[in-house]
């Protein structure tokens, strides 16, 4: 991985203070950040008011959607494998 002199100095200093090798420090921090990104993409946050509207929509009677039904019956333009 290519880094600037400044980046290398900062990373090495942080690794030394953590008692880790440079590689171990970079992998540890990169893995932690990757886990945060993945978690964020798997979680939906709603305000309490938005959650109440969501639950109300789930509990509401089913609405007929003729356009959606029509498209669901059509053959997909995407070829199946």
Phi first, then psi: give them for residue 19, nearest 5 degrees. Answer: 75, 30
Write out pLDDT tens, residues 28-53.
999 999 999 999 899 888 999 999 99
Say whether pLDDT at 22 is over 90.
yes
pLDDT more than 70, % of the chain:
100
Q: Which pLDDT score, from 0 to 100, does residue 27 have?
A: 97
DSSP-assigned letter for residue 50? H
Q: Are the beta carbons of 39 and 31 closer than 8 angstroms? A: no
């Amino acid at each position: 991985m290519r880094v600037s002199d400044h980046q290398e100095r900062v990373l090495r200093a942080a690794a030394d203070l953590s008692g880790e090798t440079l590689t171990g420090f970079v992998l540890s921090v990169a893995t932690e950040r990757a886990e945060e990104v993945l978690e964020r993409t798997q979680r939906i946050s709603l305000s309490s008011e938005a959650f109440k509207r969501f639950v109300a929509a789930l509990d509401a009677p089913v609405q007929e959607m003729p356009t959606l039904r029509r498209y669901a019956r059509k053959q997909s333009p995407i070829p199946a494998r």
